[in-house]
Amino acid sequence: MNTGIWKKNLEAQEQMQKSSVWVILKENGKGRSVSEEAHFFCFPGDPVRSLAMSLVFDLFETAWNIKNQNMNLDEAREKFFGKILEGVA
């Protein structure tokens, strides 16, 4: 077994560590309840992992705000996430 390749892959993974969290509101049929789902992409030991996980409530509040105001993708992006720079997207 070549442990040198394994070690290099592990070092590269550690350098690219990042934590992401996203939430989804799912309608369970017309006029029925809405389920809240939270998803995480986190590497153990990532220093921002706990920060990403601690903001789930705020993300759900933003999702509900978008839903309740019937915003389309562009409106939501502009209000909550900033404007797209021309030529970048």
Q: What is the pLDDT of residues 12-53, one digit of tens each?
A: 555 556 778 889 999 887 777 899 999 988 877 888 888 888
For tokens 């705020």, what's the residue?
Answer: 58
For 9, other C-beta atoms within 10 Å of its C-beta total 10
Q: What is the pTM of this model?
A: 0.66
Residue 26, SS3 per DSSP = strand
**Cα separation, 65 vs 13, whole angstroms:** 36
Q: What is the rounded CA–CA span in Å between residue 74 and residue 84?
A: 9
- Closest to 21 (Cα-Cα) out of 1, 47, 50: 50
Q: How confident is the model at residue 89 (pLDDT cuts 50, 70, 90)?
A: very low
